[in-house]
Structure 1
């Protein structure tokens, strides 16, 4: 592979608090994704009550909607935008072809996301991040103020305006992809009735697994359209770009007054809306409590994490190692989720109680903390991060 102009960023240039915050977000994403690997998030309300009891179903719903749902992909999206600004500013400062390197890096991530989305798990976020990431260079000359205001419009205005428009037209674009997903599965002999989803996931034959994998991406795209995930993620990335400039010159983390305003403002907006999200039955990410409260509360998490870092880095630093290996750990979580839970693997889907699948998520992350520390004591990067670097720069990783 031909060597591109430039070289990877040195380890000394990384910010430990950013690595730790990324690791914290990775843990939250695992708590969200475990609902789908375990089968809990795929079954009907009646099946969940039969599975975990009425009280168990209620507290899990409230816990997830109040503390988890959407908050951690917010942090991940924010850090992706911040990382773009960090990387680009440093590369350009060193006289390298920053945009060319960045685009190649995004294309490599896109290839990884395609494999992950179509061959491992359709809940993939890498594909969306890479595609939106390819748009970020269009904004790199914008002022920070323009980035923030555009981001806020994409997060808060576009979804409400879009929902109103589609309601007026009587059209739901997500239904096109839900129907396509359903047709792909049914063409392969699968009963796609909601009450049969768990039985489908438990199937031990590879034909059932192929039907799941081949129909999943269309369903996933429909879900992203329904929840307005695409403009929201792009908006959060743009806000992250503005923040990344502050990380580059060291002003953001030193501005504790700004961090306090973000934390307090995020809580004042995010907590009431998230309470409505958690205590109103049947709420989804396209309903107003989630559209209003998810992003502010996620940003409050991030700001509070940064504020606590100077005096709590000894404890929060536990997230640093898995955060430095976020790609490796994210993909590992997906592979293990499929192997352990789906019928073609160990078939634990639908068989663990609520405390069981949440306990598994905690134990898995603890194991990833231990493994990440062990690996990074011997290597500069995680294995997938090293491959990502090699495919980007054309150099053999150390």
Structure 2
């Protein structure tokens, strides 16, 4: 047997010795960071933005403000979306109850679940304990929501989002995606059956957004064509039927209209699919210029809208109950115009809105770049 057939004894790696100029042994070099430490020290990931999500979020923000102008100005004690009533909209008019009220908050709730799962996916490749990062994010949102609720408007939705995120969305990250999708279906269908609208739908919508992300639907949303077309037709047919039933039920003057929430969900689906289809037309660049800046600074714009509505209401005076669409629409339009200009100019110099930046700072527990 030759020498090469015998296993070579393992030798300790050679460590060169170094000395200082005065002859003293040099201090040993610091050890290389472990894989765990390297992941923990990794900078926040930079994921390419999905333009369609920014546009849809900005579009939803416009509708939410339109629905919230009177409740904010009136400083009601209850959260508007939890009011289990079906009226003829604002000021006795039909169209807000058919096209605005509870038609946009489902979109915002769905997108919250989408964003949560996108962040989990990115954080899983950058930090050792991504769920701790998500926990900090939800706790920071809870703090923001509580300040907004107690200082400005009791109808704040951020507090509800944070609590539902802590109780439902964060624990769901340990479940397989098929279980998340199944729970989403149950929690979306159950509230209308039990006679509830609004906030009870939030857990299911959160989970639906998470499931769509985990199944790769969101990643391919820009490429999909026939899916949005088919869903748009289904949602339109369902929304028209549900809206007709909503009108018929509201004629009975009952306290609760079971079709209000159903029509809201179907109309929200129609809006989302409609926007996705329009983004595949020459109108894409126009839609991006109008809605994307609002969507990229959604948190900042949602909170500052409360201040602007309260300021406007104090200047107008009188009871908001007497406001019709002729008052509400110009107020919402004026505020959105100011926010669009502010968002567009801000994003030319900075990566994200000021409150989004602070929220990201709290999420990652270190200061992110702003420019």
Give the secondary-structure state (helix, strand or coil) at the position aligned to 2:104: helix
Q: For 1:377, what is the secondary structure of its paired residue? A: helix
Does 1:32 find its partner at 2:100? no
Aligned with 2:265 (options 295, 301, 323): 295
- On the 8 A contact 2:89/2:96 being kept in 1, the answer is no
Indicate whether 1:104 and 2:136 are aligned.
yes
The correspondence for 1:154, drawn from 162, 187, 200, is: 187
| TM-score, normalised with respect to structure 1 | 0.72
Deviation at 1:250, TM superposition (A): 2.6
- Evaluate the alpha carbon distance shift between residue 144 and residue 346 of structure 1 in structure 2; reply closer, same or farther with a 3 A threshold: same
More RCO (CA 8 Å, sep 6+): 1
Write out per-residue CA displacement over residues 329-386 of structure 1, whole angstroms, 9 at most, x where no aligned residue. Answer: 00011112223315xx763544755312211101211111111000010111111111
Structure-2 separation of matches of 1:286 and 1:96: 48
* Farther-moved stretch of structure 1 (355-364 vs 284-293): 284-293
- Structure 1 segments of 4+ aligned residues over 6 angstroms from their partners: 282-285
Q: Are 1:250 and 2:219 matched, yes or no?
A: yes
Query: Where in structure 1 are there 5+ consecutive unaligned residues?
Result: 43-53, 164-226
Contact 2:41–2:127, Cα closer than 8 Å, also in 1: no
RMSD: 2.8
- Classify the secondary structure of the residue corresponding to 2:53: helix
Once the two structures are superposed, the pairs formed by residues 1-398 of structure 1 within 5 Å of their partners are: 6-10=42-46, 12-39=47-74, 57-58=91-92, 60=93, 62-134=94-166, 135-161=168-194, 163=195, 227-246=196-215, 250-278=219-247, 280-281=250-251, 286-311=256-281, 312-317=283-288, 318-342=290-314, 347=317, 349-350=319-320, 353-397=324-368, 398=370
Measured after TM superposition, the shift of residue 96 of structure 1 is 4.2
Whole-angstrom CA distance in 1 between matches of 2:222 and 2:353: 26
How many Å separate the matches in 1 of 2:247 and 2:330? 22
Structure number with greater Rg is 2
Cα distance in 1 between the residues matched to 2:189 and 2:59: 25
Higher relative helix content? 1
Deviation at 1:326, TM superposition (A): 0.4
Gap change, CA 1:384 and 1:82, over 3 Å in 2: same
Contact 1:228–1:286 under 8 Å retained in 2:
no
Gaps of 5+ in 2: 1-39, 78-87
CA offset at residue 281 of structure 1?
3.8
Count of residues in correspondence between the two structures? 315
